[in-house]
Structure 1
Amino acid sequence: MIAQFVARLADRFFERTITWKPVVRTYDELYDQSLETLESLANAGDANACFVLGDIFDQGMKCERQDRRLALEWYHKAADLGQGDALNNLGSMYQHGDGGLNVDMGKSRDYYERAAAVGCGAALNNLAHFYSNGQGGLPKNEKKALGLFKKAVRRGYANAGVALGYRYREGKGCRKSFVRSLYWYRVAEKADDPSGCYNIACLYYFGRKLPQDYARAVALLKRGDAQQHAASRSLLALAFEHGSAVERDFERALELYEMAHGADGSDYQEEIDRVLGKMGEALSDESDPEDRIADLRQMVFNPQRRFRVRALLHELGRIEGLLGETERLTPALKGQMKLTGAYAQWMVGDRACADWIDAALGIEKLNPFMMPFEEAALLHAKARLSIGVSAWRSAISTLADAEAVSRAHPHDARIAHFVIALDMGYCLHEAGDYEEARSVNRALLAQLEKSPETFDFLLARTLANLAQNEFFFERHQEVVSLYERRLALVEEMKDDEMIFSTLRDIAIASFKAGRTDEAEGFFKRRIDMADRMGHQRDILEARADLDEFLVRVRKSYTLQ
């Protein structure tokens, strides 16, 4: 306790007294210049311009793509002029084999030494690591490394402070000293180095030689998160997972773990699975596995409920394991779980639901367990998957099964009767069954018009589908009439995207119907709308459509 108290006093002192003055890089303003200006300066012998060009191509800034071979050329030109950062970057490229180079630790060390000689802080830090690890033909020398790390900090390379903090903590090249370790971590933290922030956060979060203080730790970790520091994000995720100085939030914890996972080779899959497990268990208050399945089954069909599908699948897997252990896993229960998982995945557009749907429907055939609306929903989902890959005949067959369920239960409001019919009409048209498609769409339009409820979106889609049917039969006046109804409807709905597309459709239909002036008016309205919305792509598309229309008009007059 006394040691922690003393360490806390030391840290408070360092926190108040240590300051960091960033090194001003004389070439920073060059990044605002155009590539042409930079090339002109570089060709005139400006070493910094050569380096900045190399960095731009190295990082893929201001250019179409990253080009490390071109970066290498500019770095060499800058290095020939004695530019320290270019020398350091060449050392890094030889160390890691970037830009098509073979790894050559000897050349890497040589470039680091040349860069260090002109005062490059990053090179001093890299050279220190070479001495610490005995790389590039250098003898392993921790004391030499320690001195170089200190020089790197003095030359403005803050991350070297983290290396110094680690060395004083472990006694590498020096005697162990927690206070000195803390000092160097604070130096890095004052420079807003995320690793410096993280190391101090760890000390406070876990109470290692400093009194446990979650609030201080979280404040530091948030700074690391802002810089996309993977380790900071993982520990901040742990704080949200357990509610340490923040409100417990599994969603935020999961988000942070996922952002940290894979960064710099980090693996947080175990943590991700753990949080998903906790989120899954929180989805239901029921304790009995069978009651939990029933609760989750009801949940996925409730549009008001919000949940993570992966958490649900994790929980279904856990429940299946529990039931399997006690030999209570009946076909009906397994079917309920497959139904629940299938519908949840379908609702978020995950095509992995296909196997779940087939499994649930397969169990239903042998051991019926579904409500009619559930069976209709799964059949419709299966059909939509077929539509997604243009498998029209397969979709039509499945939609017919869904329609059979729908007809058997016409008063079940939970069955999407109209949507099934809408998709059937669309699929029939795409499959070439034009007469039947028109018949289905006409019947659907009549039903929607008689319905006491309002289905504006479905009505708009049905009008468009029927217009396409009539267009095939060259009933152009009828097509115009249908699109006029659709345009009035979507304008009432204030759906800009649908208005924009309908203006094009009605313009083309009007031209086909011989109503040239009206067609031109619709094309111009579309351009005006695109201008108002300010979407450059839409503006270009609308103008191109008008130009093509005018060409067609001129051709039609020429043919006459």
Structure 2
Amino acid sequence: MRTDSYSQLGFNRDDFAILIDAENNNRFGVPIQIIEFLGEDAEASVHFKQLGQNNKRILSEQLRLEYFASNAGTLAEFYRDYLQYLQEIADKGEVDAILQAATLFYTWAFRGTEDCMQAMGFALEYFQRASEQGAAEASYQLAEMYRRIINPDYDLYFQHHREKNLQYYLRQSAQQGHCIGQYQLAYSFEYGQHGFTQDDGKALYWYQQAADQDNPQALNNLGDKYERGKGVKRDYTQAAHYYQRSANHDIVEAIYNLGRLYLRGLGVEKDEVKGRALLTQAANRYYLPARRKLKSLDKK
């Protein structure tokens, strides 16, 4: 194993490495970026291998990059060297290293680099350690693991109390500030999914938390709550406000919803031309409610 500054290359042909952004204190190469150095010109032109995808990228001289590298003969061996490096740091309690180790094990479980069962078990253990130290991303990944894992090879770790654990980690990720976790918790309350009791008030609260972090879909769903008066007093002005913010992120449902309000002058000044334009924009992206609405307008 070696870690040196990027300007002091010294790689051999076909060496692997993980880039580390020293300027932003990213010591663990997140996301994992595997480099294959193909020759002496590698400092100017680098071929990235990220989860099997090859991308060419020219590195700026202004970037202060470091690398982790080993003399492993295969990518699988390199991952094991990198994991050992992570575990040495993780064992000291550094949460970023724990989270990165969990992510690496999780990747292995799905890529077949290691024994799937063993890798998934380690991923679960490391994500739990990171979650206990307040890492919102770890809590969210745990919720996703309990929600999505259906492969029988992995079920040993998830078949018991799956719904209870999903609820726990989804709540935890939301409380720790994970934007997508907040949105998914809100959605679960809105529709009574994953064992959560349907509750418009709680859905509104968590949509608001996610919207405060500018989550595009949460902004649209919050607008819908205000438009329909679900969990909150009906307020078309607020509905239009949140639909507009969501539409600014190019969410087609929000574009359609905003168009409807303009057609009727709800929360905004009535503007049929603008309303139709928004509906047409959504319809051109194959959003069926917009197409149906335009068709009904054309019949009038």
After TM superposition, give the deviation of residue 194 of structure 1 in Å: 2.2
Instruction: Give secondary structure in 1 for the equivalent of 2:206.
Output: helix
Is 1:227 the equivalent of 2:263?
no
After TM superposition, give the deviation of residue 148 of structure 1 in Å: 0.8
Is 1:131 the equivalent of 2:146?
yes
* Matching residue of 2:225: 203
After TM superposition, give the deviation of residue 216 of structure 1 in Å: 0.7
CA shift digits 1:238-276 (9 cap, x unpaired): 434554334332112222444xx4xxxxx6145236436
Q: Distance in 2 between matches of 1:75 and 1:121?
A: 25
* Matching residue of 2:130: 118
* Matching residue of 1:187: 209
* Matching residue of 2:281: 255
Q: Distance in 2 between matches of 1:233 and 1:36?
A: 46
* Matching residue of 1:244: 266
Q: Which has the higher helix share?
A: 1
Structure 1 residues 212 and 44, CA gap change in structure 2 (3 angstroms): closer
- The answer to whether the 8 Å contact 1:112/1:124 transfers is no
Structure 1 residues 162 and 148, CA gap change in structure 2 (3 angstroms): same
- The answer to whether the 8 Å contact 1:113/1:127 transfers is no
Structure 1: runs of 5+ lacking an equivalent: 1-34, 262-266, 283-560
Q: Work out which of the two has the higher radius of gyration on C-alpha atoms and give 1 or 2.
A: 1
Identical columns (%)? 16
- The answer to whether the 8 Å contact 2:166/2:194 transfers is no
- The answer to whether the 8 Å contact 2:174/2:181 transfers is yes
- The answer to whether the 8 Å contact 2:219/2:242 transfers is yes
Q: Distance in 2 between matches of 1:118 and 1:93?
A: 18
After TM superposition, give the deviation of residue 92 of structure 1 in Å: 6.1
**TM-score, structure 2 as length reference:** 0.57
After TM superposition, give the deviation of residue 117 of structure 1 in Å: 1.9
CA shift digits 1:309-348 (9 cap, x unpaired): xxxxxxxxxxxxxxxxxxxxxxxxxxxxxxxxxxxxxxxx
Q: Distance in 2 between matches of 1:173 and 1:37?
A: 54
Q: Distance in 2 between matches of 1:221 and 1:155?
A: 26
After TM superposition, give the deviation of residue 133 of structure 1 in Å: 5.3
- The answer to whether the 8 Å contact 2:207/2:221 transfers is yes
Instruction: Give secondary structure in 2 for the equivalent of 1:52.
Output: coil
Q: Distance in 2 between matches of 1:253 and 1:90?
A: 45
Q: Distance in 2 between matches of 1:231 and 1:107?
A: 39
Q: Distance in 2 between matches of 1:177 and 1:187?
A: 16
After TM superposition, give the deviation of residue 53 of structure 1 in Å: 5.8
Is 1:151 the equivalent of 2:166?
no
Q: 2:237 aligns with which of 215, 227, 233?
A: 215
Q: Which has the higher strand share?
A: 2
Structure 1 residues 190 and 54, CA gap change in structure 2 (3 angstroms): same
Say how many residue pairs are matched.
232
